[in-house]
Amino acid sequence: MGTVVLGTGSCLPKRILTNKELESIVDTSDEWIRSRTGIGARRIGGKGEQAYQLAAKAARRALDHAGVAVDEIDLIVLATISSHMIMPSCACLVQNEIGAKNAFAYDVNAACSGFLYGLDLADKYIQADHSKKILVIGVETLSAKLNWKDRNTCILFGDGAGAVVAGYSGSDHGLKGAHFGSDGALGDLLCMHAPQSLNPDLEIEGYPGSHVLMGGREVFKHAVRAMEDSVRSLLDAQGVSMESVDLVIPHQANIRILNKLAERLNIPQEKLFINVSKYGNTSAASIPIALDEANKEGLISPGDTVLFCAFGGGFTWGAVLTKW
């Protein structure tokens, strides 16, 4: 008996920003970006594509796919670090946008790990019989939070939203376990400061401002190690071997991290779902977008064992195992 994914959905902004276009914005090249990140393009939000609007569209698509009416939803857990408002929460904006009048709603701030944190929270509510059907959403509009003169960050990130409807199953399908970790001591290696109106220190000359800041080499090292350890801990606790996992859907950070993780965990390429080349790093949205794509492409069958893993700012990381 467990928490199952009843439906998936996603929404990407219309505008596609290619590496070639980035060459006219910052000192870079298509070859440089592809060789270091595996990214060829990313989506950029425009008018009518704020985080809550993308999230609402992804949520509606997940509801349609699940065959669940919006008034059946009693909780919305939304992961984001880039909503255009601090208060009300993005989850509350989505609740209003889709008309989920019977749901309570809140945000989760765990950067790229946020969707998995939200999925685990949904599982806990359902197992405690506190909620019946839950929307778990990951959404980002990080293009508005980037320094477009910094080629170390602006080439990496994209906008988008993904969502799932989670509910109870009386069968042996559903979430089997999760493992999470955090290390706030390393937070400065991947961070985004508050806007100036909230942080008087921004008046200091040279203060970095409210842009994404990242120490790439250190992040790479910690990301691979943390996800590897989290996956191993989870599989060991569940008595599951990597060989018995049918599909791995990791956070789509960049191709080097994904390839190194696959090497460390002996994941065959055919079992590793990758779409980072099309969308870049969409932070909290990357796993639900990838899950929706894999699901709609028929890559997941009933009974399959699916593994998710992520690493993000905080540092935060985690892994979730489910039987589809």
Residues 6+ apart with CB under 8 A from 145: 81, 82, 192, 210, 211, 212
- Which among 261, 245, 234 has a CA at the least distance from the CA of 300? 245
Instruction: Count the helices and strands in the chain (H runs, E runs).
Output: 9, 13
Question: Letter for the amino acid at 138?
Answer: G
Residues in the chain: 324
Of 251, 254, 295, 309, the catalytic one is 251
Is 179 designated active site? no
Please give the single-letter amino acid code of residue 234. Answer: L
Q: Out of 112, 173, 254, 309, which one is annotated catalytic? A: 112
Q: How far apart are CA 128 and CA 259, in angstroms?
A: 38
C-beta separation of 10 from 292 below 8 A: yes
How are beta strands 159-169 and 2-11 bridged, if at all? antiparallel
| 157 secondary structure, DSSP code | B
Active-site pick, 173, 281, 295, 309:
281
Instruction: Determine the Cα–Cα distance for residues 142 and 144; give it in Å rounded to an integer.
Output: 5
Core vs surface per residue 171-196: b (16+ CB within 10 A) or e: eebbbbbbbbbbeeebeebbbbbeee
Burial 102-136 (b: 16+ CB within 10 A, else e): ebebebbbbbbbbbbbbbbbbbebbeeeebebbbb
DSSP 111: G
Reply yes or no on whether 251 is catalytic: yes
Active site residues: 112, 251, 281
